[in-house]
Amino acid sequence: MRSLTKLMAVTAVAALAVTGCGRADDTSTSGSGSSASGGSGSGGFAGDSLIGVSLPQKTSENWVLAEQLFKDDLGKAGFKADVQFANGGVGEQQNQIQSMVTKGAKVIVIGAIDGAQLGTQVKAAKDAGATVIAYDRLIKNTDAVDYYVAYDNFKVGVLQGNALLEGMAAKKPSGPYNIELFAGSPDDANAQVFFDGAMSVLKPKIDDGTLKVTSGQTAFNQAVTQGWKAENAQKRMDTLLSASYSSAALDGVLSPNDTLARAIITSVKAAGKPVPVVTGQDSEVESVKSIMAGEQYSTINKDTRNLVAETIKMVQALQKGEKPTVNDDKSYNNGVKVVPANLLVPVIVTKANAKEAYANDPTLSKLTQ
């Protein structure tokens, strides 16, 4: 069983089975598992019922895309859609969810800002007869969440850790290598999962001396980036460079997403130092451009269109009185229960495979020619 803070290492790297971040059309990586028990799945509800979708702040392109996809595709499926962003923070998201409950939403899909602070609201949803689906980020410490739909976030970290090692080895065949570690926002349940996945690959190399974290900052709470904000990552990188790299070379940086990766690269350039191998996630346009220009080394291919499509399939199953199909009913323990999960497969993207990875993406394919 995988908890949020202690996860079993993943040993296999995903094949190139999914294309495009937030954009491609292949959903074959999910939906083939068994129907798990737990949550609503009997009785059904009217086909034109209200479906609530509560999303966090607009911190990356994939969230903006998800908003439009949910509005469009829930409508096409016959539902009434109430899709909202909580740009004002946790309190705003709590109020939005409560409002969706009051309006009679039959399913509430939640991309949590802070998955530990929504217990009261999701309990109210359950008490009102709604089904709660945690979208992309697990909702923690409550038995009132029914399903979880996401990319396999531990595997994302594994892919990032492997990419960091491979990218540095391509530049310098043998170590030791000087690296620094960055993590996402501590209020995002995924941030620890990404970090743990990466450290399952990197820690053995730190222990045997292949990798040296020159700053000594190897713990998650030392590496976090509050709010996933680029300016916070850039400031920390500025500090690390001045404190630990006046003479030492920096070979690589573990960055959990593209926004932070670009901020890290900006800091390194401003310091007049060579750009190290830097990982990322989300296949943001500017980062794909950076990868093709030979600066950012890698990103992760997570298709928001696939993720939204799978979520709507789950809603449609519930509407028919069926249990949604999930493919993992053992791994995601939120602290109170194991939440049945529908997990999609992430894919690493570097300059070497970008053309293939984004071949079906109308936007990113143009950047890889």
User: Which domains are seen in the chain, by residue range?
Assistant: 50-152+303-345 (3.40.50.2300), 153-301 (3.40.50.2300)
What backbone phi and psi angles, to 5 degrees, belong to 328? Answer: -155, 110
- Residue that is written with structure tokens 């129907």 in the block: 35
Confidence at residue 43, expressed as pLDDT on a 0 to 100 scale: 72
CA distance 351 to 198: 21
pLDDT tens, per residue, the chain with 369 residues: 344 333 333 333 333 333 333 333 333 333 334 444 344 445 799 999 999 999 998 877 889 999 999 999 999 999 999 999 999 899 999 999 999 999 999 999 999 999 999 999 999 999 999 999 999 999 999 999 999 999 999 999 999 999 999 999 999 999 999 999 999 999 998 999 999 999 999 999 999 999 999 999 999 999 999 999 999 999 999 999 999 999 999 999 999 999 999 999 999 999 999 999 999 999 999 999 999 999 999 999 988 889 999 999 999 999 999 999 899 999 899 999 999 999 999 999 999 999 999 998 888 999 998
Cβ partners under 8 Å of residue 69, min gap 6: 304, 305, 308
> At 55, which helix (H) or strand (E)?
strand 50-55
How does DSSP assign 68-104, residue by residue? HHHHHHHHHTT-EEEEEE-TT-HHHHHHHHHHHHHTT
Confidence at residue 131, expressed as pLDDT on a 0 to 100 scale: 97
**DSSP single-letter state for residue 129:** T
CA distance 173 to 76: 53
Give first-to-last CA distance, the chain, whole Å: 43
Closest of 29, 28, 70, 21 to residue 50, by C-alpha: 70
Q: What is the dihedral of CA 193, 199, 200, 202, to 10 degrees?
A: 150
The residues pairing with 109 across neighbouring beta strands, listed in sequence order, are 53, 133
- Residue that is written with structure tokens 């080895």 in the block: 169
The residues pairing with 132 across neighbouring beta strands, listed in sequence order, are 108
